[in-house]
Amino acid sequence: MVVKGLTMGNNQGMDDEPLAPFCAEYHHAVEVIGGRWTGAIVRAMLSGLTRFSDITHAIPGLSDRMLSERLKALEAESIVERCVAPTTPVRIDYRLTEKGRALGAVVNAVTAWAEEYPRATEARAG
């Protein structure tokens, strides 16, 4: 795969050309998806959760306030869309957009990396 002059092959970015020291698009993407709780929220939504309360219950330690903030930020980035059903009571669902669903490959890659390379404290204990 070629990304702005970067050739990425089986050596995960080590082929042909080295990575540029800074890329504004990469930096923004990492800031967006690397925000506190954001990865967990996207992962929960990729698993099919769409209701606010379901997402909150699925992620231990995530407060309603933080989830609300993160969903608004993800909506501003066009990663999540808020869907309001005009029922009584009003039903609000959150769905990943195409851009949000595209993060599935990123979540899978990070999951594989995390499973292959455990936390430093776990590695030392084992």
Q: What pLDDT, on the 0 to 100 scale, is given for residue 122?
A: 61
Whether 37 maps to a domain, the answer reads no
Q: In which band, very low, low, confident or very high, does the pLDDT at 1 lie, cut at 50, 70 and 90?
A: very low
Report yes or no on whether pTM surpasses 0.95. no
Phi-psi region of 125 (alpha: psi -120 to 50; beta: other; left: phi over 0): alpha
More confident residue, 13 or 101: 101
Given a cut of 70, whether residue 14 has pLDDT beyond it is no
Whether 102 maps to a domain, the answer reads yes
Q: What pLDDT, on the 0 to 100 scale, is given for residue 55?
A: 97
Question: How many residues are given for the chain?
Answer: 126
Amino acid, res. 122:
E
Burial 46-75 (b: 16+ CB within 10 A, else e): eeebeebebbbeebeebeeeebeebbeebe
Structural domain range at position 73: 50-126
Whether 123 maps to a domain, the answer reads yes
Q: How many distinct structural domains can be found in the chain?
A: 1
- Spatial neighbors of 60 by CB under 8 A, at least 6 apart, are none
Whether 21 maps to a domain, the answer reads no
Q: What pLDDT, on the 0 to 100 scale, is given for residue 12?
A: 52
* pLDDT (mean) for 20-37: 93
For residue 99, what is the domain's CATH number? 1.10.10.10
